[in-house]
Structure 1
């Protein structure tokens, strides 16, 4: 089948307009939801929010009213109908509405009407964490998911393939069905069996390994369940005169909650290190002495010797790294109790390694894999011996419980039937299904029950390993109690699984879905609609990270899925990522990635339903842009593959798919958005353009698009990323763009032109500002908030029709001793510490001044304070110009590598729409006197 590229297809909603602000708000909100989210069934990296996937699929399939001039003959009629469709999207993306059957039925009816009553199946060939196929199924569509990685395939089976098979079935655990008089709707029966058989596994595990997890003896003689044991890794001090087993500790704090502070206090007696728990705040750790090890090395607490990381690595690689118990955290009366080490808690952990530990060698990629550099090269090395006993016990119990479920199913009157992998639906297949979820819970336990979990002194619980997309080295580790009931225990994880089944976000629909393990290069795209979130170049090493889970899942579930778990580790050779270690060099990795994308999307172009655009998510920040021909390898390689395969970009949308509180964004300007590209096969009749024609078209169309992006819900940090979309939409409409010498213009060169125009647009915006602001921008570009010479400032001010005396009176800068410095938001905070700044009474107010005070208010007190301040700003100050200034200042600060300042202005630009909306409410309340 060849895609018909001659007929003019109806435009879909995603190619024209989206209620982006609502989609982004709900997508970011969803990222903070943990309890009851389907993603808690098992971890995967860089999952897209369900709200985003749901909105994109709906808009991808539903016609835009502008395609029907006979039905909607005026702009007003088109706008009204489009607003109606947007209202459906705005309801669909709300987390609490994810299970609203009437709303989902309404959405399906719109999709059906736009697809002539025959909605096509949706295909995601890079299914990963399963957000896209899950949302296709929720919208009533047939979903087809595939992925090369068996861990991802298993996740998708658990999300979309297994539930419809057993929807409405009562539980088979003895007596469970009698606990509920009514029917068991959706997957509630399946969820109940997962909970009950999971509880049986926990009870059996306690019989077998309970002696390894003793209770703690409290000061009053009572006993308490241990939550975690906090250990320090140790190496022998290289100073011969010392030679102690020196602790490697990143922090001494156990609890930082006010009134409950507790920390570990080390001391040395002879050659022995002694740890005691203390609550004496007079001798509490400070920022300067909290821990013994950092990025540059460690310090011995015995002799004060500086110890290099190279020495620590060599000790680890030689098997000479040990562990010493620092403290025990136990359950107290509505609070944690911290106890100093004792033999009754340390001795049970001194157990040998079990024999049947699954094998698996970890990657040594330096960008993501920190632990192997310290001798932890095997998956099993990432666990203490006691943790290995726990993991092996629960893993073995999965096979035992599976047989028990099968027998109970037969007793409940179900027929034996075939296995799940063979398509069965009787007692054998049901046992396989329940065991699948329990096996995945073993995978989740691995994430919490390993020796790379740090103790969190604020939440007072162990932190799971994969807080980011890497396996880093951890020095002081918290060993959770899998037999307890707190964070990291088997029962806590099992409860997370139950909540996921019972949440509003788990589909109640019985639409079947199909999942297969296959490289995207081998997928048949015929007659599908394509929506996918492909790998991000070298950003996430999926298979390297999945190797952490794979041996445990294989050990638990190989008998159920023999073909899925036929290899010792996850497949690597065909994985479409740019891994320099795997392909020998950056060039080799880039060529592999580009060729792979070309193959995948060439096949897709030939096979997909061309009446509907494809959608593709991508989030790879441009970090290699120069003024020449350089650009981000991730983006240029992706786009080169897409455009070379015959695709044209018809629309792009920046969707804010990452929570602002994620670990990486707390410390950097990390990209928070994905760009969703709407793609169609480029017509075979597409024209060829010369370089000048392309640049003229770009110069005409891109500034307008950039203005729309700035006024939308995009953050300043994402603007360069989002600019790629409309720029490449111009480039990709041509069959080729030819340089002056007749050679083909590369995507890399086109991206450089796009970024040049972005710089020009931002520079041109300076002319819209008042003289004071224009001076401040120019001075900020040269000096930031540092001081410069008075003479230079005076010349710069005069050239912009401003005066330094006036600028100082307006509160923009200080001028002392021949030096001039702009006042930063934090400095303004100090100046107005004892009084409120009132913009309504400021006779010299400027856009710059407003933005500085808003940044201060947002940083110190959040959106409500910034909104209240903006509500008092005179209407003469253009709100749109304030937002443009925040974008411009972010760009200047980032280019100058003033990271902290850039983060502050990025935060202002990101929150701008919320600030404006709330300021209107504040203004209304002021007028009403409330």
Structure 2
């Protein structure tokens, strides 16, 4: 937009990345009170990362002539930047999630920057619309998903808008940012529970405390009503005399699927397909199922003590996919036969064991004929008939499961439909109670902006519906029993981002007090509301196609769009939608108008929806470009747009960091009219040191920082692009490697991703980069050239190190032909003999081999070595670090302080090389050195730059 003065934002200059990453990684282990426990959604971004990114994209950077403090010296700017980093460090700490003081400090900085922007743009033609100092711009996420970004924008004081094509995340966002502010600060209207704490009459029901109390109270009402209706389906179990007799509450029933024996002599018998007979594996408290065969029948008994080796695999043939053996005849049961039986409707179930509550832990009991009969005779009033499609189908139809109803036992379906029906009834009760408690008896529904008793009842029912959703997740025939020593419990349906077949499954008791019970689920939901939901600024969540929406106009944007073909959200979310639709359609009729989640317009590269993979890619590129164009045109011009893209570690190859999805996504961003002004690798899963090369889990999110490209941006030639890339990228890499005061260097594991920012910043600011033949350079080519910069530039090192780098690239630690080594050494200005004398290689019998770090001598002293290549200094440091720790490595570095910078630079280069070749262990050594560099450097300064042999303990 013309004439807009836009100071650089903090996110376009620097971030306390280590602190953000540490907080994000830690958050993954937090469950109690975390919004992720409200309702399952896939690939959520950590709240810490979302909060930090939004703060940094709204706060002006203090340095440079475009900052909010013109004339500030570099040192002053750095001090001010460090002050802002201090706020961010406090802001991302989980314990400060709802800390009023910390949040007020952050909001004050956002307002301060906003006022400065408004002052700079007070003469703008649209100043009243876009630059009103008294009104912060609103926030919008057009791919809202699990809602981390809209929630954190609201927490930072912004009016927050969320939209998504999928009704399930639309509802999740309503529950997090739209509904809580409407009913914040109200007293509960339901009858207090015996478990409620005694409240003072003057109790201030601030925030969502009162609302959460009503969710708990009416959740208990639904539970008690359900117990009356279907409690008989979940009987207690009689304990044997050795366990003290009496009755015990059942936690779970463990079942095995069955097929008829393929042996004609036993064809009348249903035999179990059990993947394991182990029930508990804690040393000293092991329990397992022992099948007892009696002619043409069998039964299951429970044994304690160390199980036989055969119990581990049940009746499954180890390592043979879906192969099993008949428990009666030992006949092989192959996968083809199982599928034929299942598709013919002849796959059944058999009770394996019963898990009950004991005074000192779990009690494992043999199957009960009465319990099995009770479960199998349940008659649900309603079962979802929507068909599994796309990613939700996967292997399920192969085993006779074609609809969502097929994923549940008859008892589970009866339970879920009963709870759903009772939530309908609860709305009437809540409305009556609310009116009786003095709430406005306004009949306006929630969807039309109602604030009275009717709307309140509908709002509470949204969270009660989430109870049914979480029950569906833990009450399907795809749940399993975990026999791990510390986790003997039911494992929910979505162990991964797919609906996967299970042979033996665990059926929870919703009326027990264990995981999967209504009581535990309700408590988890209620803890989220006062713990993590700000309920401060207003919010709105709506269903909208990102390609055509106009909600973004004049708003700050941070978004986390779909990742090419990683997750087919629409297919999987039907699992929840079928139950939500039944429960909440009267509350949100438009949102739940369709029988299933909209799929044709979903922005994923899904080959099954297209004829060919190429068409799927084109569909994704076209759709994502349209979506990004809406953002580029409409987003508030004073702020960059931030866009997340999740990477797998396996996306790093010899060509650099990239894959088809990443390149297609970048192409869409650039075609939409964005220029990239930065990229930040946010660690969203695990600590960088623990991630193995090639691990297939999502490891990092690259956060793209984008601004609208200048309308009159010129085109340049490939040669001009390369010259600018070489000039600017080398400096950017050096800053990333060296870090700055108060900010740690970018870790080697993240460097390949971080360097994309400045590289693509150069590429994307031009209308086009033209190849020699006049064609436009592709994103793939640009990424390849950018990544190449990480491993080039060896002329910065001594000739011996240059040889070692090239020989290592070619041979690794293996021996190679002397002739080839000799030619390479001469080309680098050295010789094989000189390298051998330097002590970094062996040369004998016509072979040349580089020494590994642990093969270097431990009594080496750099000041007594007249020929010390940087290669040698680096690997001596690695040897000292691995053998004796950071203090020893620091003592060694103190003897060669002038080599610190080239050592560190070489470690980055070699890490990148190893990562791309898949040399995991070697890459780890270089990564460990860099991540320990601050401590090593501090130890070297403590030791002083001259030491003696006596105190050099390496």
Query: Which residue pairs with 1:531 in the alignment?
Result: 558
Structure 1 Cα separation of the partners of residues 165 and 31 of structure 2: 27
1:38 aligns with 2:64: no
Tell me the residue number matched to 2:753: 721
Partner of 2:894: 875
| C-alpha displacement of 1:739 | 1.1
The alignment partner of 2:557 has SS state of strand
Contact 2:381-2:417 within 8 A present in 1 as well: no
* Greater shift in the superposed pair: 229-238 or 660-669: 660-669
Q: For residues 660 and 262 of structure 1, do their structure 2 counterparts lie closer, same or farther at Cα, with a shift above 3 Å needed?
A: farther
- Of 238, 246, 251 in structure 2, the residue corresponding to residue 227 of structure 1 is 251
Pairing partner for 1:164 from 181, 185, 191: 181
Q: How does 1:266-285 map onto structure 2 within 5 Å?
A: 266-281=291-306, 283-285=308-310
The residue aligned with 2:233 is 212
TM-score, normalising length: structure 1 = 0.87
Task: Report SS of the residue matched to 1:757.
Answer: helix
Residues 823 and 242 from structure 1, CA distance in 2 versus in 1: closer, same or farther, beyond 3 angstroms? Answer: farther
Aligned match for 1:313, one of 339, 351, 357: 339
Report the CA distance between 1:371 and its aligned residue: 3.0
Report the counterpart of residue 740 of structure 1 in structure 2: 772
By how many angstroms is 1:557 displaced? 0.7
1:125 to 142, 145, 149: 142
Q: Is the 8 A contact 1:250 1:293 kept in 2?
A: no
In the TM superposition, residue 359 of structure 1 has moved relative to its aligned partner by: 2.4
Query: Aligned partners of 1:422, 1:522: CA distance in 2, in Å?
Result: 23
1:330, 1:903 → 2: CA distance?
48
CA drift at 1:137: 0.9
Q: 1:881 to 1:189 in 2, by over 3 A?
A: farther
Pairing 1:72-151 to 2, within 5 Å after superposition: 72-116=71-115, 117=133, 118-151=135-168
Give the distance between the partners of 2:808 and 2:365, measured in 1 at CA: 57
Task: Tell me, yes or no, if the aligned pair for 1:653 and 1:676 is still in contact at 8 Å.
Answer: yes
Q: Deviations over 1:468-490 (max 9, x none)?
A: 21112222211111111111111
**More deviation, 233-242/521-530:** 233-242
- Per the alignment, in what secondary structure is the counterpart of residue 250 of structure 1? coil
Which of 495, 502, 508 aligns to 1:480? It is 508
In structure 1, C-alpha distance between the alignment counterparts of 2:159 and 2:368, rounded to whole Å: 58
Alignment of 1:778-797 (within 5 A): 778=807, 782=811
Task: Select 2:211's aligned residue among 175, 190, 193.
Answer: 190
What corresponds to 1:561 in structure 2? 588
Range moving further from structure 2, 845-854 or 413-422:
845-854
SS at 1:281's partner residue?
coil
Residue equivalent to 2:284:
259
Which of 236, 251, 254 matches 2:260? 236
Change in Cα spacing, 1:893 to 1:220, as seen in structure 2 (3 Å) is: farther
Q: What is the CA deviation profile of residues 739-774 of structure 1, one whole-angstrom value per residue up to 9, with x for unaligned ones?
A: 11111122222223223333436x778x47986x97
TM-aligned CA distance change 1:391 to 1:840, over 3 Å: farther
SS of 1:325's equivalent?
A: strand
RMSD (Å), alpha carbons = 3.9
What is the aligned partner in structure 2 of residue 61 from structure 1? 58
CA contact (8 A) 1:775 1:800 kept: no
Relative distance call for 1:594 and 1:789 in structure 2 (3 A) is closer
Return the alpha-carbon distance in structure 2 between the equivalents of residues 327 and 65 of structure 1: 65
Cα distance in 1 for residues equivalent to 2:69 and 2:913? 49
Provide the rounded CA distance (Å) in 2 between the counterparts of 1:436 and 1:301: 47
2:518 pairs, out of 468, 490, 493, with: 490
SS at match of 1:674: strand
CA contact (8 A) 1:713 1:913 kept: no
| C-alpha spacing 1:823/1:906, structure 2 compared with 1 (3 Å) | closer
**In structure 2, do the counterparts of structure 1 residues 376 and 701 end up closer, same or farther at CA, with 3 Å as the change threshold?**
farther
1:27 aligns with 2:24: yes
CA distance in 2, matches of 1:923, 1:889: 28
Structure 2 CA distance, aligned partners of 1:339 and 1:597? 55
Question: CA contact under 8 A between 2:354 and 2:366: conserved in structure 1?
Answer: yes
Give the CA deviation at 1:76: 1.1
The 2-side partners of 1:49 and 1:134 are apart by: 11
Distance in 1, matches of 2:374 and 2:690, equals: 34
Determine helix, strand or coil for the equivalent of 1:491.
Answer: helix
Matches of 1:466 and 1:880 in 2, distance apart?
A: 47
Alignment equivalent of 1:799, drawn from 832, 838, 844:
832
Structure 1 residue 188: Cα displacement: 0.4
The CA distance in 1 between the partners of 2:689 and 2:473, in whole Å, is: 18
- Within-5 A mapping of 1:821-832: none
Deviation track 1:251-285 (CA, whole Å, cap 9, x = no partner) reads 33222222222223334333334333323326255
Three-state SS of the structure 1 residue aligned to 2:668 is: helix
Q: CA deviation at 1:660?
A: 5.1
Identify the match of residue 469 of structure 1 among 480, 485, 497.
Answer: 497
Distance change in 2, residues 1:601/1:779 (3 Å): closer
Structure 2 SS opposite 1:434: helix
Q: Is 1:644 aligned to residue 645 of structure 2?
A: no
Match of 1:658 in 2: 685
CA separation of 1:724/1:352 partners in 2, compared to 1, >3 Å: closer, same or farther? same
Q: Secondary structure of 2:255's match?
A: strand
Distance 2:338 2:438 in 1: 61
Work out the CA distance in 2 between the residues paired with 1:282 and 1:229: 20
Which of 392, 417, 431 in structure 1 is aligned with 2:457? 431
Distance in 2 separating the partners of 1:913 and 1:290: 52
User: What is the correspondence of 1:619-638 to structure 2 with a 5 Å cutoff?
Assistant: 619-621=646-648, 632-638=659-665
Residue 908 to residue 430, structure 1, CA distance change in 2 (3 Å): same
2:705 aligns to what SS in structure 1? Answer: strand
Query: Are the equivalent residues in 2 in contact too, given 1:625–1:752 (CA < 8 A)?
Result: no
1:132 aligned counterpart, secondary structure: helix
- Tell me by how many angstroms 1:651 deviates: 1.2
Q: What SS does the aligned partner of 1:115 have?
A: helix
- How far residue 574 of structure 1 moved from its aligned partner, in angstroms, is 1.5
Matched, 1:518 2:544: yes
When residues 753 and 432 of structure 1 are mapped into structure 2, their CA distance, relative to the original with a 3 A threshold, is same
Report the CA distance between 1:92 and its aligned residue: 0.8
Question: Larger C-alpha radius of gyration, 1 or 2?
Answer: 2
Aligned-residue offset at 1:57? 0.9
Structure 1 CA distance, aligned partners of 2:344 and 2:688?
A: 39
CA contact (8 A) 1:364 1:372 kept: no
Find the aligned partners of 2:405 and 2:942 in 1 and give their Cα distance.
58
Give the conservation status (yes or no) of the 8 Å contact 1:727–1:754.
yes
Q: Is the 8 A contact 1:316 1:374 kept in 2?
A: yes
Match of 1:834 in 2: none
Q: Is 1:324 aligned to 2:350, yes or no?
A: yes
Q: What is the alpha-carbon distance in structure 2 between the residues aligned to residue 452 and residue 423 of structure 1? A: 39
Q: In 1, Cα distance between the equivalents of 2:385 and 2:691? A: 31
Q: Do the aligned partners of residues 85 and 552 (structure 1) sit closer, same or farther apart at CA in structure 2, a change above 3 Å counting?
A: same
CA contact (8 A) 1:625 1:631 kept: yes
Structure 2 vs 1, CA of residues 815 and 421 (structure 1 numbering), >3 Å: closer, same or farther?
farther
Q: 1:286: how far off?
A: 8.0
Q: Secondary structure at the match of 1:466?
A: coil
Determine if contact 2:250/2:355 at 8 Å carries over to the other structure. Answer: yes
What residue is the counterpart of 2:130 in the other structure? Answer: none
Residues 141, 163 of structure 2: 8 Å contact kept:
yes
Inter-CA distance 59–36: structure 2 relative to 1 (3 Å threshold): same
What is the CA–CA distance in structure 1 between the aligned matches of 2:941 and 2:711, rounded to whole Å?
A: 53
State the match for 1:200 in structure 2.
221
Separation in 2, partners of 1:123, 1:290: 53
Contact 2:27 2:94 in 1 (8 A): yes
Confirm or deny: 8 A CA contact 2:238 2:247 kept in the other structure: yes
Structure 1 residue corresponding to 2:630, chosen from 603, 611, 624: 603
Q: TM-score, normalised by structure 2?
A: 0.85
